[in-house]
């Protein structure tokens, strides 16, 4: 994947500033509303349930506003292979024109599908506080996709003829509606091939995922409206747990753009640089700290690389070791709370998020320890044991050295005291049961803002803060839209019972659990270097959970193994995300970064194998009869899309119920059989008909009564 921003700075137009201002305001409200709600709950004991709904709705807005900004700046997540073609010339123009045309066509179709979905919701009575209809807030979906389509057409082409080609591609996509249902199979295959080729050349990932999802629904034997994709998008983005993603990311951005990185680097250096490999260990720990808040988005390498690389070189490490270590450390904190991928995995798999965080502690420490241990070995190898354990100056006052060191350690800890207190909102608030996950995220973001803007004043309230908020919204827009369209793709797979089919095939062809785990590791390693971690979670998790249940793999163990493999995929050649980010950040050839990262790839692979084949590292805190979430997919997601109807009563049971009606005051009387009716007629005879005189007399009596 690639999140490398464009290097060209384009002057902002007035409407761009309005767009940025709205995104900043929405993020600010998403932080303030949960904080105020929780404080009110603590003081008065009253809960504002509507505030949670507003935060979920605003998360939908930040997704599409951020997506529109990402389309404007060329920051949508894409495969790293697309960067190979960004070298100018005719080839670049052809590739850019093709990917722009495909991306524009798919996004325009998503805009149409979203408009259809919103129109269908106008009859809904669901409202938020203030009598705001929910469908009115959903208008941001078609508007956002429409703006993205226009910007993909303009941004991807330097000339108007190229932009006209993008418009023609939209027309071709619309013309597919004229193909009769039941004859669209060839369109699905052709369209999927075009989308995969386009995404390999650098088209945004969401266009590939969303396009394939719409094609599958469109080409199904019984066609389903493509509005099923935006329906799934709105449902997953409005999930209350996903509101934590932009808030934790905002906290990470505030820390990275402020002076927190310098204070934390100094803290870990002072505490560990006197040990063998201490500076490298400090770099690993700082990266782990930042990655827990920013997720596997590449922010850690981009924000800290320029600070940590000189520090490592100054400590005597070679460029090869220093760059390789930073590439490996760019996603090292992926398993520690409040890691965004862990939260998302919990949402996708129905495994409790706290259980995943607990299960990830030991594996996360194993991966960190392996990198630190490698640093220690390199230190001994380069400088020898004597360097670390021999005092060159015999007259040195050991007591004074220790005292000075303790003073520096305490001073650095005091300077970074607010940053060190940041995880408390998650560790105490969330795990202690005082806060929900997105409330903890809101307090974390508010705390980071107060620390960097008010206390340390590293960020200016008007010059720096809006920029940080917009960068966060841009990243989250790209991520959340991928999650939404990926959920549409997943819904099709689950509705078609693909997970159950895969589980049956694997059970029949894979001999044992150990072999399955090995195959799973290889598969996830490939997935990790080809897909971004967020879409991989939404698409792959529903496929592997039923299969893992067949082999009795613990759900928490599966989750941590899944995330650890994807973490390893980030530094796997040829297209691991961290490799491209390091090449961009350190201005090094990509092949050179490959060579630097290979030793660390081997060390991290050892850690992943330990996690895979020693499940106690993840399951030590859980009982043996831990409930598997596999039923979640079998009983819930595999339900048909059609409205459910009451089950039909078998005819035999229906007759039995009617026959027993006389014994039930609420049931109908039993119908006599034909034989019983004939017997009654024979005994009593047919009812006598009145004579004409009697009939006239009856009519006269009725007239008299009137």
Rounded-to-integer distance, Cα 443 and Cα 421, Å: 12
Span 437-482, pLDDT tens digits = 888 889 999 999 999 999 988 888 988 999 999 999 998 888 889 8
| Residue 693, pLDDT score | 57
Rounded Cα distance, 392 and 382, in Å: 18
Residue 586 has a pLDDT of 84
Task: Give me the pLDDT at residue 359, please.
Answer: 94
> In whole angstroms, how large is the CA radius of gyration of the chain?
32
Nearest to 38 by CA among 442, 450, 426: 442
Strand residues in 124-263 grouped as ranges (E): 127-128, 132-133
Contact 598, 592 (CB under 8 A): no
- The pLDDT of residue 363: 95
Cβ neighbours for 276, distance < 8 A, ≥ 6 positions apart: 376, 379, 380, 388
Give the helix/strand (H/E) hosting 298.
none
Q: Which structure tokens are listed for 371?
A: 């990198």
Q: Is the pLDDT of residue 225 over 60?
A: yes
Q: Is residue 430 domain-shared with residue 540, that is, in the same domain? A: yes
**What pTM value is reported for the model?**
0.77
Do 567 and 419 sit in the same domain of this protein?
yes
Residues 540 and 667 in one domain: no
* 3-state class (DSSP) for residue 193: helix
Q: Return the SS3 of 204.
A: strand
User: Do 659 and 608 belong to one domain?
Assistant: no
Give a yes or no: residue 8 inside a domain. Answer: no
Q: Indicate if 603 and 660 belong to the same structural domain.
A: no
Confidence grade of residue 590 (pLDDT, cut at 50, 70, 90): confident
Token readout for 265 is 């680097």
Does pLDDT of 551 surpass 50? yes
Q: Which of these ranges, 8-12, 189-193, 312-316, has the smallest mean pLDDT?
A: 8-12
**Residue 673 or residue 378, greater confidence:** 378
The whole-angstrom distance between residue 657's C-alpha and the CA centroid of its chain comes to 52
pLDDT of residue 122: 86
Rounded percentage of the chain residues whose pLDDT exceeds 90: 24
Q: Is the pLDDT of residue 536 over 70?
A: yes
| Domain co-membership, 268 together with 231 | no
Q: What is the pLDDT of residue 376?
A: 85
Residue 412 confidence (pLDDT): 85
Residue 13's pLDDT is: 80
Neighbours of 60 (CB within 10 A): 23
Position 141 scores a pLDDT of 92
Domain end among 571, 599, 629: 629
Q: How confident is the model at residue 556 (pLDDT cuts 50, 70, 90)?
A: very high
Closest CA to 334 of 311, 307, 365: 365
55 falls within a domain:
no
Positive or negative: CA dihedral 260, 306, 299, 579 = negative
| 571 has a pLDDT exceeding 80 | yes
Kindly give the interhelix angle for 319-329 and 299-314, rounded to the nearest 10 degrees: 150
> Can you read off the two tokens belonging to residue 178?
């004229």
132 SS3 class:
strand
Tell me the C-alpha distance between 398 and 309, whole Å: 31
Residue 44 lies in a domain: no
The proportion of the chain whose per-residue pLDDT surpasses 70, expressed as a percent, equals 82
Task: Tell which residue, 349, 351, 355, 352, has the closest CA to residue 637.
Answer: 349
Can you tell me the distance from the alpha carbon of 534 to that of 104, in angstroms, rounded to the nearest whole number?
Answer: 22
Q: Both 319 and 198 in a single domain?
A: no
What pLDDT is attached to residue 680? 54
8 A C-beta contact, residue 276 and residue 379: yes
Helix, strand or coil, per DSSP, at residue 2: strand
Contact 579, 536 (CB under 8 A): no
> How high is the pLDDT of residue 647?
38
178 and 264 in a single domain? The answer is no
Considering the domain architecture, whether residues 90 and 234 belong to the same structural domain is answered as yes
Does residue 343 belong to any structural domain of this protein?
Answer: yes
Q: Is residue 183 part of a domain?
A: yes
Q: Which domain holds residue 668?
A: 651-705
Retrieve residue 374's tokens: 């490698």
Q: Nearest 5 degrees, angle CA 483-CA 486-CA 491?
A: 125
pLDDT at 656: 44
Is 50 exceeded by the pLDDT of residue 394?
no
Segment 456-467, tens digit of pLDDT: 888 889 889 999
The count of other CB atoms within 10 Å of the CB of residue 688 is 6
For residues 11-38, average pLDDT: 89
What is each CA distance from 98 to 149, 176, 477, in whole angstroms? 14, 19, 23
Query: For residues 616 and 674, what is the distance between their CA atoms, to the nearest angstrom?
Result: 73
Quick one: pLDDT at residue 573? 80
Question: What is the separation, in whole angstroms, between the first and last Cα of the chain?
Answer: 91
Q: Is pLDDT above 70 for 206?
A: yes
- Picking from 629, 661, 682, the residue at the C-terminal end of a domain is 629
Instruction: Specify the 3-state DSSP secondary structure of 133.
Output: strand
Assigned token pair, 687: 């009812």
Instruction: Give the pLDDT score at 348.
Output: 87
**8-state DSSP, 78:** B
- Specify whether the CB–CB gap between 436 and 240 falls below 8 A: yes
pLDDT tens per residue across span 288-317:
888 887 765 566 787 778 788 888 888 788
Indicate the pLDDT class of residue 423, thresholds 50, 70 and 90: confident
Where is the domain boundary, 238, 269, 303?
Answer: 238
Q: Please, what is the average pLDDT of the chain?
A: 80
Q: CA-to-CA distance for 367 and 567, rounded, in angstroms?
A: 10
pLDDT value at residue 157:
80
For the cut 90, the answer to whether the pLDDT of residue 418 exceeds it is no
Looking at the fold, whether 559 and 661 belong to one and the same domain comes out as: no
Distance CA 67, CA 210 (A): 14
User: pLDDT band for position 255 (50/70/90)?
Assistant: confident
Cα(329)–Cα(282) distance, rounded to whole angstroms? 11
208 shares its domain with 313: no
pLDDT computed for residue 667 by the predictor: 45
In Å, the largest CA–CA distance within the chain is 145
pLDDT of residue 679: 58
Decide if 226 contacts 325 (C-beta within 8 A). no
Whether the upstream peptide bond of residue 574 has omega within 30° of 0, thus cis, is yes
pLDDT digits (tens, 9 = 90+) for 600-621: 999 999 999 999 999 999 999 8
Q: Is the pLDDT of residue 31 over 60?
A: yes
Q: Do 105 and 179 reside in the same domain of the chain?
A: yes
- Asked if the structure places residue 200 within a domain, the reply is yes
Residue 136 pLDDT class (50, 70, 90 cuts): confident
Average pLDDT (79-85) is 62
Q: What is the pLDDT of residue 86?
A: 59
> 127 phi and psi, to 5 degrees?
-135, 160
Assess if residue 48 is contained within a domain. Answer: no
Instruction: Give dist(CA 435, CA 35) in Å, integer.
Output: 10
| Bridge partners, residue 132, by sequence | 128
Residue 400, domain member (yes or no): yes
The reported pLDDT for the residue numbered 658 is 39
Two tokens at 571? Answer: 């530094």
Give me the number of domains the chain comprises: 3
Q: What is the DSSP letter of 158?
A: S
So what's the pLDDT on residue 613?
Answer: 93
Closest by CA to 559, choosing from 631, 516, 618, is 618
At 177, is the pLDDT very low, low, confident or very high (cuts 50, 70, 90)?
A: confident
């Amino acid at each position: 994947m690639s999140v490398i921003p464009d290097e060209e700075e384009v002057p902002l137009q007035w409407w761009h500033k309005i767009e940025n201002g709205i995104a900043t305001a929405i993020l600010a409200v998403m932080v303030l509303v949960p904080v105020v709600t929780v404080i009110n709950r603590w003081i008065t004991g009253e809960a504002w349930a509507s505030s949670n709904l507003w935060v979920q709705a605003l998360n939908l807005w930040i997704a599409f506003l951020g997506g529109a900004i990402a389309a404007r700046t060329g920051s949508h997540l894409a495969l790293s292979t697309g960067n190979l073609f960004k070298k100018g010339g005719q080839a670049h123009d052809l590739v850019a024109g093709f990917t722009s045309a495909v991306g524009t066509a798919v996004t325009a179709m998503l805009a149409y599908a979203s408009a259809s979905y919103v129109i269908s919701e106008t009859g809904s009575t669901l409202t938020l506080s203030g009598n705001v209809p929910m469908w009115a807030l959903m208008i941001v979906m078609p508007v956002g996709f429409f703006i993205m389509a226009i910007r993909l057409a303009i941004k991807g082409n330097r000339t108007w003829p190229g932009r006209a080609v993008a418009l023609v591609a939209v027309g071709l996509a619309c013309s597919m509606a004229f193909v009769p249902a039941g004859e669209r199979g060839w369109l699905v295959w052709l369209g999927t091939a075009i989308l995969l080729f386009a995404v390999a050349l650098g088209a945004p990932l969401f266009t590939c995922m969303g396009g394939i999802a719409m094609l599958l629904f469109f080409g199904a034997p019984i066609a389903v409206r493509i509005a099923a994709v935006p329906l799934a998008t709105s449902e997953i983005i409005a999930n209350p747990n996903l509101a934590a993603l932009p808030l934790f990311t905002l906290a990470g951005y505030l820390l990275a753009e402020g002076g927190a990185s310098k204070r934390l680097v100094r803290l870990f250096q002072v505490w560990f640089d006197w040990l063998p490999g201490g500076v490298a260990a400090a770099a690993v720990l700082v990266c782990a700290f930042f990655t827990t808040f920013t997720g596997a988005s590449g922010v850690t390498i981009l924000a800290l690389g320029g600070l940590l690389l000189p520090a490592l070189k100054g400590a005597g490490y070679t460029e090869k070791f220093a760059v390789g270590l930073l590439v490996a450390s760019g996603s090292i904190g992926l398993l520690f709370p409040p890691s965004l991928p862990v939260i998302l995995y919990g949402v996708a798999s129905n495994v409790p998020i706290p259980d995943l965080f607990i299960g990830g502690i030991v594996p996360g420490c194993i991966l960190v320890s392996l990198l630190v241990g490698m640093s220690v070995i390199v230190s001994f190898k380069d400088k020898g044991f004597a360097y670390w354990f021999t005092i060159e100056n015999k007259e040195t006052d050991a007591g004074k050295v220790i005292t000075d060191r303790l003073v520096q350690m305490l001073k650095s800890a005091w300077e970074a005291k607010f940053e060190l207190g940041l995880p408390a909102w998650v560790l105490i608030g969330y795990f202690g049961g005082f806060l929900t996950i997105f409330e903890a995220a809101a307090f974390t973001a508010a705390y980071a803002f107060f620390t960097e803007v008010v206390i340390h004043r590293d960020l200016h309230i008007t010059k720096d803060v809006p920029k940080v908020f917009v960068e966060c919204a841009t990243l989250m827009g790209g991520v959340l839209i991928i999650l939404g369209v990926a959920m549409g793709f997943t819904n099709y797979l689950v509705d078609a019972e693909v997970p159950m089919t895969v589980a049956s095939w694997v059970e029949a062809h894979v001999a044992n659990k150990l072999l399955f785990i090995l195959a799973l590791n290889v598969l996830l390693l490939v997935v990790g270097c080809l897909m971004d971690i967020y879409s991989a979670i939404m698409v792959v998790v529903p496929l592997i959970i039923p299969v893992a249940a067949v082999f009795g793999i613990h759900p928490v163990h599966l989750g941590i193994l899944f995330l650890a493999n994807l973490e390893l995929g980030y530094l796997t050649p040829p297209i691991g995300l961290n490799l491209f980010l390091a090449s961009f950040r350190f201005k090094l050839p990509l092949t050179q970064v490959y060579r630097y990262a290979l030793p660390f790839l081997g060390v991290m692979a050892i850690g992943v194998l330990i996690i895979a084949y020693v499940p106690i590292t993840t399951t030590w805190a859980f009982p043996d009869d831990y409930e598997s979430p596999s039923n979640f997919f079998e009983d819930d997601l595999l339900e048909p899309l059609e409205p459910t109807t009451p089950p039909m009563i078998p005819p035999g049971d229906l007759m039995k119920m009617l026959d027993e009606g006389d014994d039930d005051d609420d049931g109908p009387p039993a119908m006599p059989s034909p034989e019983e009716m004939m017997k009654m007629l024979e005994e009593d005879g047919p009812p006598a008909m009145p004579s004409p005189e009697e009939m006239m007399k009856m009519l006269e009596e009725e007239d008299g009564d009137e």
